Amino acid sequence: MTLISDTDTPLLASKARVRWDPIRQKHLLLFPEGLLILNQTAHEVITMCDGKHKVNIIVNSLADKYKTDVDADIRELLSRLVEKRLLLLLE
C-alpha cells in the first residue's frame, strides 16, 4: 500500500474522469480499463483531488462535515487510486 503523507497534494490522473450516471444515480470514476462506482464520500474526496488541496485539508474538511474520524478511510482510498495509477501525488 502506498504511504499517503499529510503534505501530499493529490491530483486525478488525466486518464480518469468523474461522471454522473443517470441510470445508477451515482457518480462514476471512468478510466480506460473500466470504472468505479463512487459513494458520496468517495466522490467528495476525488472532487478535492484537484492538485490544490493537501491530504490533511481533505481529511479535516470531511471529518468536520461528517463529525467522525475519516482519516484512515480517505488514506486507503487515495492509496488504492495511486496504485491503480488513477491519482498522482504532488509534493
pTM, to two decimals: 0.93
Render the burial of 50-61: b for 16+ CB within 10 Å, e for the rest: eeebbbeebbeb
pLDDT in tens, 23-53: 999 999 999 989 999 999 999 999 999 999 9
**Amino acid (1-letter code) at residue 24:** R
What's the rounded Cα separation, in Å, for the pair 61 and 13? Answer: 22
What letter represents residue 62's amino acid?
A: L
Q: Which amino acid is it at 82? A: V
Q: Is the pLDDT of residue 91 over 90?
A: no
